[in-house]
Amino acid sequence: MGKHAREFRRMVVEDPSIRLAAVFEGTSGDDRLIGTAKADTFHAYEGGSDRLTGNAGNDTFHLGGAFDPIDGGDGRDILRLNGDYSAGLLIDRTMLTGVERIIYGSFPASPRHDYALTFTEDLHDGATVQTLTIGSGDHWYELANEVTIDASAMTRTRLDIEGSIKDDVIRGGQLADRLAGDSGADVIYGGGGRDIFEFRGYDAEARRSFDTIMDFARGDRIELMGYGTDLRLGAPDGEAGTIDIRYARRSDTTILTISTDETPRPELIIHLAGNHDLTIDDFIF
Ligand SMILES: [Ca+2]
Ligand SMILES: [Ca+2]
Ligand SMILES: [Ca+2]
């Protein structure tokens, strides 16, 4: 057990007169870090076989390449991953529970910080439905690289997933999720439930590539944020303010082309696998 971390724990947890939140610095040894009832911060970058317990309070856990078991406890807890997770992680409740948000990224920028996370079950016990937010939505960590997230095994979790600026593969769970690939050429599966696929108009990269939704189904919707609120379904002529819909038989793909201005270049292209007869009700503006 890491000496420094152990002393920290004793000081913070075993002395009831100290009620401040703690900042834990893990060591290269096997640290057992137990948080207070306040908003604690855990840094476990140094290796070893650690166990991190947040207890109550809105705790933040920082990991950097390895994955140590984390129990966030009560409160709204955040796990920040800043390291190379490209080899792929299978995550179950013995590894991660009681955490409501996962932020991945790379700071400083590194070409090797890719994230391949597969959740083999929900991260909470019991029948209640909880929300898990996953993304790089934080200016500090916006330099995220490719992410592959598979939450298809989750049946009691509503996912709010944001991809990276690169080409991602995102699989939602069995309930109604909100999924956003961000820029890059992303491949997105909603899974079960009435999912919302989100596209943001201020994302200039979206003009240069397109996302593909693999399992769009009745009840799913496409949310177009920042493309105007009066878009209409139109003929495929690039007219301003239209969503043109075309079925490409050869690739069995429905191609949506969104034009917001008079230039011939579309502002957004979305591919849906299969042939879909869409109406305006399939969209949210
Ligand atoms: Ca705590
Ligand atoms: Ca992306
Ligand atoms: Ca879903």
What is residue 2's predicted lDDT score, i.e. its pLDDT? 44
Please, which pLDDT band fits residue 238 given cuts at 50, 70 and 90?
low
112 vs 82: CA distance, rounded Å: 11
SS3 97: strand
Alpha helices for 24-94 (secondary structure H): none
What is residue 71's predicted lDDT score, i.e. its pLDDT? 97
**Res 142 pLDDT > 60:** no
What is residue 245's predicted lDDT score, i.e. its pLDDT? 93
pLDDT in tens, 5-24: 544 544 444 454 556 788 99
Strand partners, 243: 233, 258
Mean pLDDT of the chain, nearest integer = 87
Instruction: Provide the residue type at 65 as one letter.
Output: G
SS3 140: helix
Mean pLDDT score, 124-145? 79
State the distance from the centre of ligand 1 to the C-alpha of 154, rounded, in angstroms.
26
pLDDT in tens, 108-128: 666 678 899 999 999 998 889
State the distance from the centre of ligand 2 to the C-alpha of 13, rounded, in angstroms.
42
Quick one: which ligand is closest to 179's CA? 3
Instruction: Provide the residue type at 189 as one letter.
Output: Y
Q: Determine contact, residues 203/267, Cβ cutoff 8 Å.
A: no
**Res 1 pLDDT > 50:** no
State the distance from the centre of ligand 1 to the C-alpha of 133, rounded, in angstroms.
19
48 vs 95: CA distance, rounded Å: 15
Q: What is the DSSP letter of 5?
A: H
Please, which pLDDT band fits residue 3 given cuts at 50, 70 and 90?
very low
Ion ligand 2: residues, CB < 5 A? 163, 168, 181-182, 184, 186
pTM of the complete model beyond 0.85:
yes
